[in-house]
Amino acid sequence: MKLEEAVKYATDLLLSLPKKTKIRIIGHIDADGIASASIVAIALARAGYRFHISIKKTEPDLIKEIKKEDNDLVIFVDIGSSYLEEMRELKNVIVLEHHLGKEEAPSNVMYLNARFFGLDGSKEACGASVAYAFALALDEENVDLSQLAIVGIIGDKQQFIGYNKKIVEDGIGSGFIEERDEYILVGKSLKEALENSLEPYFTGFYKSSASFLDKLGIQPQKKFEELEDEDRRKLLSALTLKLLEQDVDEIAWRKRIYYGKNYGNLYDISSKLNACARLNEAGVGIAICLGDKKAIDVAHVIQEKYRDEIRKEMREMEKKEPYEKNNFIYFYTDKAPLAGVLAGLALKYLPNFKKDKPILALSYNEFIDVSARADDKMVENGVNLGEALKLAAEKVGGIGGGHPVAAGAKIRKDKEEEFLEEVDKLLK
């Protein structure tokens, strides 16, 4: 069966319920989760249903909390794969997912995971993709929601292949999406663009971007788009060399950007949703998706703050040596919401963190939160962080899961060493 057909079972279930049904939407706390939950919310509203929406972390007590409420239907989107058994205690449940999970769900749970339909849930369909399939099955007029689906795809760093490719084609075909190839350094003065850039991240540039440009004979205050062709070439080849020195293997100065008719640059929207999620402002992200223009300005401030915090941490990490096990390296951070992105950026751009091994970031709070990142090459060589963290966390009484390249776990503080040993064994 194809995903497009399978989601019809979910829309049939929804449509069998009266309009005043109490519906709860639970989305995961990241850009994909916010986009996914919004897609479902908008589709429900258009179909005449009311709902109550929440964006949640993967917490051990999540289902217990929801069980206290009196819902006729709970729709989990981009979250839920790790709670299937506990959902038995809820009434009707629809799970729209793409994370690794069990194959079997209790009979009251309609569990639709992209992975069941021949799709790679870490590349070819994300939460927002499955949510979009659901919305489209409800009403084909919902094709405009392809814009938000793309926001989710970008947020989860997926590719435009598999079902995701169909979404882009839908969006372009219906006039809601436009694609343009653009240089990535446009917008600000070159000094600022180089200093502030996170993808790619240039080590040392927080103090040396102006002198780097001076040496090339390029005025730091100029914008990239103001440069003559020759200066442009000179700059890009110098920057390529700089990244090669950082041992970066994927370098692209132009990027395919998707624009949404109702949302503008979808990469920017995705980055805003991500910042909102990380800084506990998911509501602002939902507001953006629901079309609130004022929320964009609020989110811009949140986004700047978030990026500032990342840069600050990255500058510290440039000077640090990570801890090392046989099969991964790890570091500690007190910025739990940033842990995943820091691990990911370190893996790509920090020479002192590049040892051809996955990176785990550990943050202490009530528990220890773990975020892990690998690259595609490691995954091709058999690394599966989602599985390793899930098994290792469960072994020490914690919770974990995710994707081969990106995963998370939550464990008790006294289990740290045992957990790390277990991960080391599993990654061998």
Q: Give the residues lining the site for Mn ion (CB under 5 A).
A: 32, 78, 126-127, 156
What ranges make up the beta strands (E) of 137-247?
177-183
Q: What minimum distance in Å lies between the beta carbon of 32 and Mn ion?
A: 3
Nearest to Mn ion of 32, 144 (CB atom): 32
Q: What minimum distance in Å lies between the beta carbon of 154 and Mn ion?
A: 11
Q: What minimum distance in Å lies between the beta carbon of 176 and Mn ion?
A: 21
Phi-psi region of 78 (alpha: psi -120 to 50; beta: other; left: phi over 0): left
Other Cβ atoms closer than 10 A to 141: 12
Q: What minimum distance in Å lies between the beta carbon of 155 and Mn ion?
A: 7
Distance of alpha carbon 238 from alpha carbon 213, whole angstroms: 9
Q: Closest Cα partner for 39 from 29, 19, 53?
A: 53
DSSP 8-state code for residue 415: G
Q: Which residues pair with 201 in a beta bridge?
A: 198
Nearest to Mn ion of 101, 127 (CB atom): 127
Q: Closest Cα partner for 24 from 61, 62, 57, 50?
A: 50
Nearest to Mn ion of 26, 350 (CB atom): 26
Q: What minimum distance in Å lies between the beta carbon of 424 and Mn ion?
A: 27
Other Cβ atoms closer than 10 A to 179: 12
In total, the chain counts a number of residues equal to 428
Return the residue nearest Mn ion (CB atom).
32
Nearest to Mn ion of 154, 420 (CB atom): 154
Nearest to Mn ion of 74, 239 (CB atom): 74
Q: What minimum distance in Å lies between the beta carbon of 101 and Mn ion?
A: 12
The sheet with strand 177-183 has its strands ordered as: 177-183, 254-260, 264-265
Nearest to Mn ion of 114, 227 (CB atom): 114
Nearest to Mn ion of 120, 156 (CB atom): 156
DSSP string, 103-160: S---TTEEEEEGGGGT--TTTT--HHHHHHHHHHHH-GGGGGGHHHHHHHHHHTT--S
Q: What minimum distance in Å lies between the beta carbon of 403 and Mn ion?
A: 9
